[in-house]
Structure 1
Amino acid sequence: MRAGGLRELKKTQTRQLIADTAASLFRAQGYDEVTVDEIAAAAQVSKKTVFNHFPTKEDLVFYRADEREAMSLAAVRERPPGVSILDSFRQLCSAQARLIPGIRRDLARPRGFYDLVNGNPSLQRKMYEVNAHLMSTLAEALASEAGAEADDPIPSIVASTLIGAQRTLYRRLRERVASGDDDETIESAHQRDVRRVFDRLRDGLGDYPPQ
């Protein structure tokens, strides 16, 4: 492996170590009770290194936000020829069923992700910022592909609709996992929801942007 590749691997490993360490401390003690100094000490890195990877303490909770944004953008930019954006997002939402085991683990832990966010105003604001940035970035990608004018509201409306569908379907999936149903029942209900939502959206969004 080249030196550049080794450096990138080291950065990725360090970032993951810091994120995992922070998550463990937040679950054990609570978000407000843990300082960045304590996270750095537990991860055996400097405080500066923590901030090099995560500019704010809130970013430590939302460390998967970039991954989520990349997946949503890939549904637009990297979809196969002939596949509509609506169908690409439908596939993305259908694949949420693979998250059932991880959701079970999160719900079984004290102070899981949503427990942390719902109990903290600064994290709620951060979640709003993350979602707003995702919708803005997706709208830009849609506008670029559609060749839309700068003042065209349609890309933003389509982006908000798609992200809203994605978030709502995921929330319902978590609620079903929390209800205690078995995985097969949960997945069947989730796929039914996905079909209903995207069949309803097809009349309005099916050919946007025109190919």
Structure 2
Amino acid sequence: MTDPATQTGTAPPTGRRERKKAATRQAIADAALRLFLERGYDDVGIREIADAADVSTTTLFKHFPVKEALVFDEDADQEARLLAAVRERPEGQSIPAALREHALRSRILAADGDARFTAWFDLINSTPALRDYLQGMWLRHANALAQVIAEESGLAADDPACTALAHFALEAPRAALAHADPRQAVTRAFDLLEHGWLAISG
């Protein structure tokens, strides 16, 4: 299921084999999430998930090498969309503006209207192993984003401004939940950030 990144989908697989693999992967993830939400993450075994998805445990592990990954099945797609938001932004658009648009598509901002997403989010918050996995995923995405920001802006790869912007962009949707109007909070935060970024990047 989509985590606090974006709800915009990627292009579907085009070949028959790719479509079959994608369908199998989705069936496994759906079965896992259903069982986790029904009984709790720690009380569901890998064999049960494989049986529910009608696949072998070998097939399951080909798609999801660790149990925690079953809850974050769009990890790679989310990172790809995040980086594309910067690399493929329209000519003349600043990096903070591109990241603001990406953040405003964040599904977490609409969590109150999606009971299934809210349950998924609560599952993560109540499960230490999933919180730890999410933190590691967050750091990987932040590091990848910081590198792309550096490439696109012409700054050094180790420039702390790139790291700070990457961390801010990923954290903004979550932080905005504390406000009455999360979308407006995201917009105002990125507006403030952009002024400082322009002073750094020229």
Indicate whether the TM-score tops 0.5: yes
Residues 206 and 105 (structure 1), Cα distance of their counterparts in 2 relative to 1, 3 Å cut: farther
Match of 2:169 in 1: 162
Structure 1 unaligned runs (5+)? 177-188
After TM superposition, list the pairs within 5 Å mapping 1:161-200 onto structure 2: 161-169=168-176, 171-172=177-178, 189-200=181-192
Residues 91 and 59 (structure 1), Cα distance of their counterparts in 2 relative to 1, 3 Å cut: same
Match of 2:87 in 1: 77
Could you tell me which of 51, 54, 64 is aligned with 1:54? 64
- Which 4+ stretches in 1 moved above 6 angstroms? none
Once residues 98 and 135 of structure 1 are traced to their aligned partners in structure 2, the CA distance between those partners, rounded to angstroms, is 18
Single out whichever of 65-74 and 50-59 deviates more from structure 2: 65-74
TM-score of the superposed pair, with normalisation by structure 1: 0.79
Identity of aligned residues (%): 39
Once residues 30 and 51 of structure 1 are traced to their aligned partners in structure 2, the CA distance between those partners, rounded to angstroms, is 20
| 1:95 correspondence with 2:105 | yes
Once residues 129 and 57 of structure 1 are traced to their aligned partners in structure 2, the CA distance between those partners, rounded to angstroms, is 14
Once residues 42 and 97 of structure 1 are traced to their aligned partners in structure 2, the CA distance between those partners, rounded to angstroms, is 27
What is the aligned length? 189
| 1:201 correspondence with 2:190 | no
Letter paired with 1:42? A
Offset of 1:138 from its aligned partner? 0.2
Could you tell me which of 19, 27, 52 is aligned with 1:9? 19
Structure 2 unaligned runs (5+)? 1-13
Offset of 1:120 from its aligned partner? 1.7
Could you tell me which of 118, 139, 143 is aligned with 1:136? 143
Single out whichever of 149-158 and 74-83 deviates more from structure 2: 149-158
Offset of 1:30 from its aligned partner? 0.8
